[in-house]
Amino acid sequence: MTLAARCARRLPPRLVAAAAARLYPRFEPELRRLPDFCPRGGTAVDVGGWYGPWSRALARRAERVVAVEPVPHLARALAATAPRNVEVVQAAAADRSGVATLWLPPGGRGDRGLASLVRRPVHATTLAVPCLALDDLDLTGVTLLKIDVDGGEAAVLRGARQLLCRERPALFIELEHRVQPPGPVLAALAEYGYRGWVLPAGDWVPLAEFDLAAHQARTAHVADDGLLRRSLAPRRARYVNSVLFLPGTERPGAADVRDDGRHELHA
């Protein structure tokens, strides 16, 4: 268990949520670039809400934020600390509605954000939780769908098929080769007509021109550090594990996008 996870168990949820909101943009700079892909108004969906760093940031741009979080104590903490325009749904997003087995690391709490419907070696305990397909929420005016589900991304997309076809929102998805091969997700989004973008440094670059697998293999040691260490310790390399997908020919922050060759980040 990381230092941040141990501290989270002993601190008031409001303090943990405030710390997460403050520290997260330091290693997930896409949070500081929301205007590039998240227009004002409408509904934003935060799948895998955790303590709410994305929900809190999205609440400043979207009229309504729907946060989906399966871990009971995290969902309660998020509901108690989030802005008023954030609605928390205590469930796991999947390709069906019902009950599912949620896998958790040792200790059975999920404070590290590693809870998943897909079992990995890091998991040790289970918890029965409600699950739902995002299509069953009947959401409208959706501008952004953020997905951080530690391996269950393809199932979330299958459960959001109608939403994707109807709303055509921007998608921000955590993809890690060491967690789950991203091939099925990339193939599904290509069928929907989405194009991927990453932010390895100051500019958005097309995913097709960035070797995500090689980059993650070189910088995996960064991902092994906990929240506090990754946020506070300056590093020359960044671990890119999230991809922005936009429909059709849309581009993020058009003035800042480079699209003129190979842009692989060298650690």
31-90 residue pLDDT tens: 999 999 999 999 999 999 999 999 999 999 999 999 999 999 999 999 999 999 999 999
Looking up residue 174, the CATH number of its domain turns out to be 3.40.50.150
**98: containing domain:** 3-251
Is there a domain that residue 258 lies in? no
What is the chain's length?
267
Is there a domain that residue 260 lies in? no
Q: Is the pLDDT of residue 21 over 80?
A: no
Burial zone of 261 (CB within 10 Å; 0-12 exposed, 13-18 middle, 19+ buried): exposed
Query: Is residue 238 classed as helix, strand or coil in its secondary structure?
Result: coil
CA distances from 37 to 139, 169, 204, 246 (A): 19, 10, 11, 8
Do 207 and 183 meet the contact criterion of CB atoms below 8 Å apart?
A: no
Q: Classify each residue of 121-134 as buried b or exposed e, where b means 16 or more C-beta atoms within 10 Å of its C-beta.
A: eebeeebebebbbb
Q: Position of tokens 């998020």?
A: 78
Is there a domain that residue 106 lies in? yes
Least confident of 18-22, 97-101, 143-147, 238-242: 18-22
Is there a domain that residue 189 lies in? yes
Neighbours of 205 (CB within 10 A): 22
pLDDT at 9: 60
Q: Is the pLDDT of residue 265 over 80?
A: no
Is there a domain that residue 223 lies in? yes
Q: Is the pLDDT of residue 144 over 80?
A: yes
Q: What is the pTM of this model?
A: 0.87
pLDDT at 204: 96
Do 104 and 126 meet the contact criterion of CB atoms below 8 Å apart?
A: yes
Neighbours of 58 (CB within 10 A): 27
CA distances from 233 to 6, 240, 251 (A): 19, 17, 32
Look at the chain and report how many structural domains it folds into.
1
Query: Is residue 163 classed as helix, strand or coil in its secondary structure?
Result: helix
Is there a domain that residue 116 lies in? yes
pLDDT in tens, 208-221: 999 999 999 998 88
pLDDT in tens, 157-197: 999 999 999 999 999 999 999 998 999 999 999 999 999 99
Q: Is the pLDDT of residue 267 over 50?
A: no
pLDDT in tens, 222-253: 877 666 665 665 555 788 999 999 999 999 98
Query: Is residue 102 classed as helix, strand or coil in its secondary structure?
Result: strand
Task: Enter the DSSP assignment of 9.
Answer: T
Please give the Cα distance from 212 to 239 (Å, whole number).
10
